[in-house]
């Protein structure tokens, strides 16, 4: 199912019998309608004639607009993850999504397992209970309730309502992704910047496995401008740290140490949308599966998936989202 505007619904009704696009639609030069038509063709709902044959899906995409050179670290990681997922011998979209989401996790070696074997050891590793970092945390934020097995340790600003702070009025997020050995020093510097910025909420991995993930630290903001401003501050403060890198996020600087995304907006009457990276991974999995089901001899499945994702409002060269297009795409069934 796809959410359609009145013009697109009329188009579908008109084209129940094969024929050219209505003249009025070709003359409108409406970017939203053009994008919807491309989506309908790539999703197999409409077909177009190429060399005397009606085709759709990957076969209809002959010259993708993707730029394939001069990518940053995060864009390279994102593309590598998509190419890797295209090799899977499965059409299980949930499995592909999960494996995409876990891409670039760091291994937990025996040495790291011995160093942070418990939640208490992790708190000591991050200096959460004593020293300057603990003082700043206690002064500016309240810690949310935490179980020893929880994936995240989370804080919200003093005076914030905990339920409201976890809804979509806090849309924009920064990812900070140092290698595990550099995490304590980076976390301390991040807390200092977030205290200066009065950040409403942030979190850090809550188990040994979760500090091995690429998005080890996530900070939330209510505007893109504020998020990017703090991202630049992070780059200046912690730019010498070694980088792990968060696939499917938009790089800000420091060779991929700091990047950003934005969660899809909630839709009234429907289940809450997932996080930015899960949203992206779910759509890539969907499009890889579609490309595999109807392959094109001239177009790799990963190229089709990234081009189709572009129509959902994601620049698949920089991985920056167009929020208005992305939220419109969120109405389409996944």
Q: Compute the distance between CA of residue 305 and CA of residue 288 in angstroms, rounded to an integer.
A: 5
Pick the range with the lowest mean pLDDT from 158-172, 254-268, 283-297.
158-172
| pLDDT classification of 101: cutoffs 50, 70, 90 | very high
Q: Is the pLDDT of residue 2 over 80?
A: no
More confident residue, 305 or 38: 305
Tens digit of each residue's pLDDT (9 = 90 or more) over 123-143: 999 999 999 999 999 999 999
Backbone torsions φ then ψ of 200, nearest 5 degrees = -75, -30
Pick the range with the lowest mean pLDDT from 17-21, 98-102, 298-302.
17-21
Measuring CA to CA, which residue among 316, 282, 260, 330 is closest to residue 78?
Answer: 316
* CATH architecture for segment(s) 110-244: 2-Layer Sandwich (3.30)
pTM confidence score: 0.81
pLDDT mean over 196-204: 94
| pLDDT classification of 168: cutoffs 50, 70, 90 | very low
Tens digit of each residue's pLDDT (9 = 90 or more) over 275-301: 899 999 999 999 999 988 877 777 899
Q: How many residues are listed for the chain in this entry?
A: 334
Q: Is the pLDDT of residue 333 over 70?
A: no
Domain ranges of the chain: 6-60, 110-244
């Amino acid at each position: 199912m796809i959410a359609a505007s009145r013009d697109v619904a009329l188009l579908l009704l008109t084209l129940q019998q094969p024929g050219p696009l209505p003249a009025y639609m070709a003359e409108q030069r409406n970017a939203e309608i053009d994008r919807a038509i491309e989506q309908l063709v790539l999703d197999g709902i409409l077909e177009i004639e190429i060399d005397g044959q009606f085709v759709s899906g990957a076969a209809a995409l002959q010259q993708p607009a993707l730029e394939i050179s001069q990518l940053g670290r995060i864009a390279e990681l994102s593309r590598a993850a998509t190419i890797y997922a295209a090799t899977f011998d499965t059409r299980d979209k949930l499995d592909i999504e999960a494996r995409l989401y876990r891409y670039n996790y760091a291994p937990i070696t025996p040495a790291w397992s011995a160093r942070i074997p418990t939640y208490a050891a992790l708190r000591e590793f991050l200096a959460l209970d004593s020293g300057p970092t603990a003082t700043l945390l206690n002064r500016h934020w309240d810690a949310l309730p935490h179980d020893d097995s929880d994936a995240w340790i989370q804080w919200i600003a003093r005076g914030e309502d905990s339920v409201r702070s976890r809804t979509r009025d806090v849309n924009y997020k920064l990812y900070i992704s140092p290698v595990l050995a550099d995490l304590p020093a980076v976390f301390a510097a991040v807390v200092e910047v977030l205290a200066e910025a009065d950040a409403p909420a942030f979190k850090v991995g809550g188990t040994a496995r979760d500090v091995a993930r690429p998005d080890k630290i996530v900070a939330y903001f209510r505007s893109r401008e504020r998020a990017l401003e703090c991202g630049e501050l992070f780059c200046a403060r912690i730019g010498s740290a070694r980088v792990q890198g968060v696939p499917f996020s938009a790089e800000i600087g420091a060779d991929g140490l700091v990047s950003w995304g934005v969660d899809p907006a909630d839709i009234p009457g429907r289940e809450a949308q997932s996080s930015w990276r899960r949203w992206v991974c779910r759509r890539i999995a969907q499009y890889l599966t579609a490309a595999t089901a109807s392959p094109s001899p001239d177009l790799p499945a990963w190229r089709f998936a990234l081009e189709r994702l572009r129509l959902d409002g994601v620049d698949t060269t920089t991985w920056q989202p167009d929020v208005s297009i992305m939220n419109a795409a969120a109405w389409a069934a996944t």
